[in-house]
Structure 1
Amino acid sequence: MASSPPLPAVLALADDLSGAAEAARALGGPVRLCLTAPTGGAAAGAHDLVVDLNTRHLPPADAADAVRSVLGSGGSGAYGLLYKKIDSQLRGNVAAEAVAYAEGAEPLVVAPALPAARRTVTGGVVHVDGVPLHETNGWRAERATPPRSVAEAFSGLAVRTIPLEVVRSGLPCLEAELKSVVASGAHPAPDAETDADLDAIVAAALRLGPGLRLLGSGGLAGALGRALARPTVPAPAPPPARGAAPLLVVAGTAEPGVVRQIEHLTALGMRHIPLRPAELSAGAVEARAGAVDVEADAAPVDTVLSIDGSAGLHPGDGRALSAALAALATAWPGRPDLVLTGGETARATLDALGVRELEPVDEIHHGAVHSRTPDGRSVVTRPGSYGAEDSLLRIATALRPHLAATPAAG
């Protein structure tokens, strides 16, 4: 009997770390998650490769150049499929990066829906919990206003919507519509409300032949992983014992829902240290010495650091606050295991620690990816806008099962 052809390896590019980790788990197979772009033949291998370009807050031209740099390296040709991870709320340099990513693609299929987070696309418009994106507050921390449509978000790239009824009309019809859009010189952007819709989009897209590139959220990465039917990845060996390492949760977001998430952790006995933006902006050293008052020789205590957004935040302050939180987390005594919410905070923290590669271990819940550093430290990354009320509780008890037995505060 003839052997099955090898499954194509995937090269995935992301613009922030939490998105890169989400994509790595969604692809479902053996994967390398790199925080530095590979060069030349170093990219080639039997594993999928996910690269965090860390471009979310770069100037658009620099973000586009980062995409071109990886795709222009000699190693990118070793991968049979290319996938570009974007934010499901279309934040970041989506237009500039998409234009760079589309160079040499035939075709590019765009699908930003993320059903697991209740983010859908109908009529070419992203919806969050059924509300058009431009009518939500999902961009309140951004300097710009949200796009009113997928086509508007990808200005500079010819994008054409494929209606939901066509996506659900069956594989032959959807494939024909994709080919028709490509033949017209545009890039197809199918609507999607469910994972089944994304599965249909991937199934049809994979029939388009060489040159295909996919661009979308972690939902599209999950559909690609299911379509490729990766073999089961053996569970990684347990990390070396690290003694009584503390757990440090760094909530690098001022999303209103995080307040209640943190309350679940304080009910377990974890210490909570809210930091006012002015304290962090003054410098991590001053914040640590004044607001935190942590002694280096104190017994390790499981702790939550968060941004106190009660007085409001100025759009555009996020990067400086993330850098200050990262400096604080890096200096924390006891070499804690880390829970990092917000891709920018996660990346800044790992950069400060000198971490250049992560080994994804599992996904605690959607978007909350447990990885391991080369020296055995556990790191959980999660987008700041993700998670139900029990998100941080589930993460903390997954890393520290004994916390689940702690009586809740009455």
Structure 2
Amino acid sequence: MELLILADDLTGALDTGIQFVAAGASTRVVLDPHYDLGQVDPDVQVLVVDTESRHIAQEDAADLIRHIVRQAVELSVSCIYKKTDSALRGNVGAELGAALEASGADQLHFIPAYPKTKRTTKNGIHYIDGIPVGKSVFRNDPFNPVLSSRVANVLSEGSGLPMVSVKKEEQAGDFPGIQIYDAETDADILKRSRELQAKGKLFLLAGCAGFASVLSELMDLRSKPAETLELPGAFLMACGSVNPITREQVKEAVESGRFRYFPIPPEESLTPHWFTAEEKGQAQVREWADYLARGEKCILDTNDIPGRITAYAYAQQQGWTLEDVRHQIPVAMGEALRALLEKGVEATLMVTGGDVLMGFMREMEICEIEPVQELFTGTVLSYVRINGKKQPLISKSGGFGSPDLLLQLLEKLS
């Protein structure tokens, strides 16, 4: 293992790990944050660990990162990369601080920009499509709102370590602590990466898939040609992301008439075992299976239905919290997808939203994913093994992609 990547959610683990697959590196994504790094297959060059730490307490997230980084140091891993959300959501400061403390290094080098998805950093301010992140749609994220646009301010919420914001035209210095670098283009990231490489500073790094894509070019990790998968004609998307960008993608796909659309109201998605124990839920699964058996394209959507009670309002009626909603919907979708596969459905699965993807993984007891190809920025084709068979699985981070992404995806898959 030459590179260890730590990601705080599953879609992020995949869209970062795929950067190294594209360069020819033998790459694996594991779903167990307590995975013993010493047991990794010796053929694996890049190991991505999904720590599932975005939604947990800062102290717990920091402890988890310290434990993993200490293992990596003991194993003399050449490079440790802390993958962060491109909109700075989650326990970013706590995790970067913990990584730096546990590594024994003096500096951690952080490039938060991802220019391909219009995430840029200028004068220490992070932007989403030209809008300061603290004023963007991510300010209203129901689980991880980003209230400040200055990167150092976001990090200071969880780390007391010194921080230095470095402008594009400035050289990387020797100041201790977290080094935050501006970048507005891929060329900016490449220039900074080469500078860090020349100074021997590619040991402890942080960023999203933007920095990772450049790093994959600098590290000589080629070991095998890219793998291809034969994909079934049927297509099933399980949508659990509440991000407005994904909402618009679903809306455009449905209005195209090329997908069968099945909105799932909260009285179903929030009822435990609805799709496995309730007669009406089982009937829905049979209906979806019939459509997929005919090779159709289907979308299952747990988001709020216009004119109907919202998931949060329904949860309040039941005496549940927002956290209960965040937990139950992935469980319900995981059970629904399992029920479909047990009926022999053969389809290319697509899951949006890291929580729902993890719900499916846990329901199927899958602990490892092999990324295959990045179809679009942030949209990754992988495979998982279910009962000895390779199951194609497409994942997408909620905030990525153009409004017509699902229509583009159908064209590419065909």
Instruction: Give the counterpart letter for 1:179 in structure 2.
Output: G
1:249 aligns with 2:237: yes
Q: Call closer, same or farther: CA 1:217–1:211 in 2, change over 3 Å.
A: closer
Shift of 1:152: 1.1
| In 1, Cα distance between equivalents of 2:355 and 2:59 | 19
Residue aligning to 2:10? 17
Instruction: Report the equivalent of 1:338.
Output: 349
- CA distance in structure 2 between the partners assigned to 1:377 and 1:366 by the alignment: 21
The alpha-carbon distance between structure 1 residues 360 and 280, as it changes in their structure 2 partners (threshold 3 A), is same
Q: Give the distance between the partners of 1:300 and 1:193, measured in 2 at CA.
A: 45
Deviation at 1:76, TM superposition (A): 6.0
Task: Give the structure 2 partner of residue 321 of structure 1.
Answer: 329
Q: Contact between 2:90 and 2:144, CA under 8 Å: does it hold in 1?
A: no
Corresponding residue number in structure 1 for 2:162? 158
Q: How far, CA to CA, are the matches of 2:376 and 2:222 in structure 1?
A: 21
1:280 and 2:269 correspond: yes
Structure 1 range deviating more: 69-78 or 355-364: 69-78
2:26 to 24, 30, 44: 30
Opposite residue 365 of structure 1, the aligned amino acid is: F
Q: Distance in 1 between matches of 2:4 and 2:145?
A: 30
Matching residue of 1:186: 177
For residue 376 of structure 2, the aligned residue among 330, 345, 365 is 365
Partner SS, residue 139 of structure 2? coil
1:329-385 CA-partner distances (Å, limit 9, x unpaired): 222242543101111211121121111111111111001010011230000111011
Structure 1 residues 197 and 235: alpha-carbon distance in aligned structure 2, compared to 1, 3 A threshold: same
TM-score (structure 2 length as normaliser): 0.82
| Counterpart residue identity of residue 351, structure 1 | R
Contact kept? 1:105, 1:211, Cα under 8 Å: no
Deviations 1:232-281 (A, max 9, x none): 74132545x8xx67422011112334344234544354321112334322
Q: Which residue is equivalent to 1:228?
A: 219
Q: Residue 403 of structure 2 aligns with which residue?
A: 389
Greater Cα shift, 157-166 or 203-212:
203-212
Q: Is the 8 A contact 1:88 1:113 kept in 2?
A: yes
How far off its partner does 1:24 sit? 0.8
> How far apart, in 2, do the equivalents of 1:76 and 1:324 lie?
40
SS of structure 2 residue aligned to 1:377: strand
After superposition, the Cα gap between the structure-2 partners of 1:329 and 1:44, relative to the gap in structure 1 and judged at 3 Å, is closer
The answer to which of 36-45 and 111-120 deviates more is 36-45
CA contact (8 A) 2:266 2:310 kept: no
Q: Deviations over 1:6-44 (max 9, x none)?
A: xx8211110111111111112332211211243152136
Aligned residue in 2 for 1:86: 84
Contact 1:120 1:128 in 2 (8 A): yes
**Secondary structure of 1:376's match?**
strand
Change (3 A) 1:148 1:265: closer
Of residues 243, 250, 264, the one that matches 1:262 is 250
Q: Is the 8 A contact 2:253 2:406 kept in 1?
A: yes
Aligned partner of residue 58 in structure 1, secondary structure: coil
Which of residues 67, 78, 82 is equivalent to 1:69?
A: 67
**Helix, strand or coil: the match of 1:331?**
helix
- The equivalent residue for 1:5 is none
The alignment-based identity, stated in percent, is 26
1:121 corresponds in structure 2 to 121
Is this contact kept in 2: 1:112–1:121, CA < 8 A? yes
Cα contact 2:29–2:369 (8 A) shared by 1: yes
Partner of 1:271: 260
Provide the rounded CA distance (Å) in 1 between the counterparts of 2:290 and 2:237: 17
- What is the CA–CA distance in structure 2 between the aligned matches of 1:202 and 1:195, rounded to whole Å? 10
Does the C-alpha gap of structure 1 residues 112 and 278 become closer, same or farther in structure 2, counting only changes over 3 Å? farther
Q: 2:54 aligns with which of 42, 53, 56?
A: 56
TM-score, normalization: structure 1?
A: 0.83
Question: Closer, same or farther in 2 for the Cα pair 1:211/1:236, shift >3 Å?
Answer: closer
Q: How many residues align?
A: 377
> Contact conserved, 1:86 with 1:216, CA < 8 A, in 2?
yes
Instruction: Report if aligned partners of 2:246, 2:400 keep a CA contact under 8 Å in 1.
Output: no
